[in-house]
Structure 1
Amino acid sequence: MTWRNGRLYLVLFVTFMLAGASTTTGIPLHEWLGLVIFAPLFFHVIWRWKWVVRVFKPSNRKRPGQTTFAKWFNLALFFTMLPIGGSGLMISGALLPLLS
């Protein structure tokens, strides 16, 4: 892992932890942090797009166990974050009050 990756992962982790602590941050900050976290996540996917294509491309070669685990773990995270973010936007009271 490079220093640039480490910084991005640290920012994502801290933002995610703060966004999850709605009792500490309050609902408005919780909703804004939840929205803000999608920018670095989107940047991360674009930044790692070559890896995504390479790992999900069918291959006859056996991949290392760590790569296979990372592939399925990242896919699970992606499909977990989509409905969380979508439902968060739909029930938002502070961020998008016109939608509620």
Structure 2
Amino acid sequence: MAEPLNLSIHFGGGAELLFDKIKKREVELPALKKYMPDCQHEKWTIRELLQWIKDNLLKERLELFMQGDSVRPGILVLINDADWELYGELDYEIQNNDTILFISTLHGG
């Protein structure tokens, strides 16, 4: 069974307001099969990470962070300082010690 993953998760551009105003968190994700026993694969992807964030970190206003099983439009996602589009977005297999950054580009006016 896969080992737990250590991960640094950052929120910026106002997204941190949905997470108790905490901009940076060091987390240890459990083995995926422990968290999602019915999951068909062994490795964490961004898709499962978003579900974990929703269940464990998000404190308010889900609709401002997620749309369906992804982030809502206007939330930039960087994996180790590069756009997640370069890594396959939701299907990126998270590696130990990755840094995942969520930046809101949505601002009131």
Q: With structure 2 as the length reference, what TM-score do the two structures score? A: 0.25
Q: With structure 1 as the length reference, what TM-score do the two structures score? A: 0.27
User: More helix per residue: 1 or 2?
Assistant: 1
Higher relative contact order (CA 8 A, sep 6+): 2
